[in-house]
Amino acid sequence: MDDRHIDAAELLRRKSRQQYWASTRRTVPSKKYNSSVKKAKDYVVLDFETTGLRPGADQIIQVGAVKYRQHEQVAVMNQLVNPLRAISSRITSLTGISNEMVRNEPIIDNVIVQLIDFIGDYPIVAHNASFDMGFLYALDGRVEIPTFTVIDTLKLARKVINNTPNHKLTTLARYLQIEHNAHDAVGDCLVTAKIYQYCLTHSI
C-alpha cells in the first residue's frame, strides 16, 4: 500500500473518531445542579420514564413529579410525552407506555416548561438522581433549565440502610414494605418520597 492510501485510511479513522466523540459529547450534559444532603421538609420528588438510558440520545416519555410540604403530598404532575420517535417493545413491556398512548401527547419542550413551573424554588428529590438530571439538563439550550438543588435518595439509602443486597428502588420498596407501581413515573416518585422520609428519620 503506498503513502497516499495510508494517508486516506488515516484520515478516515480520524474522521470516524471525531464523529464518535462529537456524538458522545452531545449526549452527556454538563452538571448544572447542586447536590445536597439537606433535610428538607418541602420538596418535589421527580422521576422520568425514557426510551433508553442515554440522555440526549434517548427521550423522556413520562414525567412524574409529586410536591410535598411538611412531608405531606400537596400536588401531583403526571404527563405522558410524545418522544417523536418509536418506543421499543422492550420499553413498552417495562413501562406499559406504548406508541399509541403518546401519539397525541405534548412534546418535551412544552412539558418541561410546565415542570419547571411546578417545581418552582423547591429542592428536587430523586432516586439515582444523576439519571433523571442527565435527561433534564440534556434539554438545556432548547429550554432554559434552572440550577436546581437535588437530593439523591440512592446516596442517602446507602448510608442508612445496610441490610439489602442493593439499593435499587424496587429492592428498597420491598425491604420497607412499600406498595410500588414500578416503572411508572408517579409510582416511583411515591416510593422515593417514602424512602427519603425513612432516611431522614433513621439518619444519625
Instruction: Please write the tens of the pLDDT for every residue from 103-151.
Output: 999 999 999 999 999 999 999 999 999 999 999 999 999 999 999 999 9
pLDDT score of 1: 42
pLDDT score of 36: 95
29 vs 175 pLDDT, higher one: 175
Confidence of residue 38 (pLDDT cuts 50, 70, 90): confident
Count Cα atoms within 13 angstroms, Cβ side, for 85.
12
92 vs 38 pLDDT, higher one: 92
Q: Mind listing the pLDDT tens digit for each residue in 137-147?
A: 999 999 999 99
| HEC per residue, the chain | CCHHHHHHHHHHHHHHHHHHHHHHHHHCCCCCCEEECCCCCCEEEEEEEECCCCECCECEEEEEEEEEECCEEEEEEEEECCCCCCCCHHHHHHHCCCHHHHCCCCCHHHHHHHHHHHHCCCCEEECCHHHHHHHHHCCECCECCCCCEEEEHHHHHHHHCCCCCCCCHHHHHHHCCCCCCCCCHHHHHHHHHHHHHHHHHHCC
Q: Pseudo-torsion of CA 24, 26, 30, 33, nearest 10°?
A: -120
Q: Is 195 exposed, middle or buried (0-12, 13-18, 19+ CB in 10 A)?
A: buried
> What percent of the chain has pLDDT above 90?
81
Confidence of residue 204 (pLDDT cuts 50, 70, 90): low
pLDDT at residue 23 is higher than 90:
no
Average pLDDT, the chain: 88
